[in-house]
């Protein structure tokens, strides 16, 4: 069974949990705001999250080469959570290994890396 944790949304920032596809979270926000499809997706997520909470956990990747933590899947969800001011979010995680293997972890998240 995959590890499922809860984490403070405040950890989604440019120092602790970074975006993988964007240099900084503000770049992700700007990118989503400038594209109709992405803007609609974030707005739909905000409505859904406000009504039912986040149903699909965010996937975090942790580098084994550097002590970095990234959103591997769920950038739109992360932005929606931040904009709503939601206090915590559910997540799964995996190691990003230097030899290219990826496996969803069953062990507790290494919170000391934040």
Q: Distances in Å between the alpha carbon of 44 and those of 17, 21, 48, 77, 108? A: 23, 21, 6, 10, 31
pLDDT tens string 41-83:
999 999 999 999 999 999 999 987 777 999 999 999 999 999 9
Q: Distances in Å between the alpha carbon of 9 and those of 24, 54, 58? A: 16, 12, 11
Mean pLDDT calculated for residue range 5-21? 96
Interacting residues of 84 by C-beta distance below 8 A, sequence separation 6+: 46, 49, 50
Q: Could you give all domains of the chain from N- to C-terminal order, each with its CATH number?
A: 5-113 (3.90.1530.10)
State pTM to two decimals: 0.93
How many residues make up the chain in this entry? 114
The residue to which tokens 């709503």 are assigned: 84
Report how far residue 77's alpha carbon sits from residue 50's, in angstroms, rounded to the nearest whole number: 12
């Amino acid at each position: 069974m995959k590890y499922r944790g809860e984490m403070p949304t405040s950890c989604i920032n440019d120092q602790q949990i970074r975006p993988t596809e964007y240099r900084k979270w503000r770049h992700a926000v700007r990118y989503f705001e400038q594209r109709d499809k992405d803007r609609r997706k974030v707005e739909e997520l905000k409505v859904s999250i406000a009504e039912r909470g986040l149903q699909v956990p965010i996937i975090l990747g942790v580098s084994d080469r550097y002590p970095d933590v990234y959103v591997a899947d769920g950038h739109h969800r992360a932005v929606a959570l931040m904009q709503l001011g939601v206090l915590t979010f559910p997540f799964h995680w995996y190691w990003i290994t230097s030899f290219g293997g990826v496996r969803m972890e069953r062990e507790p998240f290494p919170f000391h890396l934040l």
